[in-house]
Amino acid sequence: MQNPKLFMLMLGCRPAGRNTEQHDMFFAIGEQVKDLVPAIKAFWPEAKGNIHVDAWREVTQVKDFQIKVVSKETIPADAGADKLFFLNLGGYKQGEFDEFHYKMLAVAPDQAGAVKQAKETAFYKHTGFKGATSHIDDKFGVDVDEVLEVKEILTAEDKQQYSLMITPSIAGFEDEMHLGYFQLHKL
């Protein structure tokens, strides 16, 4: 691959026997988002190929850090203290029959640092009320929802070939988010 890039996608489908659309997050490396279609289908076999993308972005910048995909030989897997984390926060709003989610990326040396950043978000501070608080607590870190190191949830092939190089940078732009209903064959 000449120009490998890290992509973050929110996949959606309605598997057989389910009453509502289900979602999952998918991280993979490719030159273009359409290159990921075979890996997307392999990731969610229960969907039987009936998957769409609700949101995607190329991950190049997270706050004050640049994210680059490099060959495994370029840097050791354990280079640098900072890691890229994906967090899925959950919360509630009074009178709404739903659990709301906020998906975020954080660069930190460990999960505790990523959780600390999550606790500073407006979502965490304003989603929840007595008896139905946001899904982060001091005792367990992230209670019900997830905090995952991105390099650990890449496809097996991507983990063998690539590393993520995280370097401080001057934040000046946000990665473009693509939102909507994207059918795989139209990516």
Pair 187, 39: CB distance under 8 Å: no
Per domain, the residue ranges of the chain are 5-183
Whether the per-residue pLDDT at 145 is higher than 70: the answer is no
Residue 139 has a pLDDT of 32
Spatial neighbors of 64 by CB under 8 A, at least 6 apart, are 107, 168, 169, 170, 171
Whether the per-residue pLDDT at 148 is higher than 50: the answer is yes
Which tokens belong to 48? 């039987």
**Rounded Cα gap, residues 50 and 40, in angstroms:** 11
Residue 77 has a pLDDT of 52
Pair 115, 134: CB distance under 8 Å: no
40-54, 71-85, 92-106, 110-124 — most confident range: 40-54
Average pLDDT over residues 137-147: 48
Whether the per-residue pLDDT at 176 is higher than 70: the answer is yes
CA 19, distance to chain mean position in Å, is: 25
Whether the per-residue pLDDT at 4 is higher than 90: the answer is yes
Q: Report the predicted TM-score, pTM, of the whole model to 2 decimal places.
A: 0.88
Pair 108, 76: CB distance under 8 Å: no
Q: What is the DSSP string of 138-162?
A: TTTEESSS-EEEGGGSS-HHHHHHE
